[in-house]
Amino acid sequence: MQNNNIEKSLKSYMVGVCGVGMVGGALLRYFEGKGIKPLLYDPGKNLGSLEELNQADVIFICVPTPFKAGEGFDLSYVKDAVSKIGGEKIIVLKSTVVPGTTEKMQKEFPQHKFLFNPEFLTELTADQDMNYPDRQIIGYTKESFTISKDIIMLLPLAPFERIIPATEAELVKYYGNNWFSVKVIYANQFYDLCEKIGADYNTVMESASADKRIGPSHLVVMHKGYRGFGGKCLNKDIRAMIEFGDKEGVDLELLKTAEKVNNDLMKQQGIADPEKFSKRE
């Protein structure tokens, strides 16, 4: 019954994708696999046009949100994209943004209905992660709540599906990536202890991670030839959350410690730019 509803929803909306990078590209291929041809706009890749994008009813925003010191994520690409969307659209933000952003966008562009749909993709398995997700989460504003069920039905089915307020949905993304960062540092601290006393870390890690409450992810110390967390996502997400906490008067001391230990690890390895590595999560 639900599958029939999904197909009905897919056919009742004209879908647009703004930004066809890793996230937007995986989303595009998912829709194409369902027999839907989204309207595209990505000037950097010479794909589509604003005129085409503005014919869509539902527009997924998948543009970059690079980290900007003191401001968290740089929303200029998101705001630029939204400002060019005419009429009254349903806009689904998939770009990672700090908590409260979807609500702010709703107030700034009240003619649209905004939702937030966090992505949980790994670079090397983006299509698999998109088509067969563990979770599907839609974050709503007061203005978009009534259409949130329709939008989640546009997306791949998942064993865990939730429609929650947008700010909580934005925090879900940070909760995961910051936990991964802490887990990487935890593993590295235990690795150093094992080395000091002559114990084999891998033996300890394999046996400990067999506990389903722990799990094996992010516990391999030497990842792609280096220690610590690199790439673009974990580094910028932990920094953005630390700054967000400071702004809100909450000292996220554990995250600050994890970041400091990671920075020290990078210095010890002579790595000046950890973001050059592929995403770890």
Active site members: 233
Q: How far apart are CA 1 and CA 159, in angstroms?
A: 16
- Which alpha helices (H) appear in the chain, and where do they start and end? 2-12, 22-33, 50-53, 76-83, 101-108, 126-131, 148-152, 166-197, 201-209, 233-247, 253-268
**Cα 242 to chain center, whole Å?**
17
- C-alpha to C-alpha distances, 145 to 90, 92, 141, 252, nearest whole angstrom: 11, 12, 6, 31
Residues 6+ apart with CB under 8 A from 140: 115, 148, 163, 164, 165, 166
Query: How is residue 120 written in tokens?
Result: 């949980």
Element of type H or E holding 67: strand 67-68
| Among 234, 248, 262, 264, CA closest to 67 | 234
Query: How is residue 2 written in tokens?
Result: 């639900």
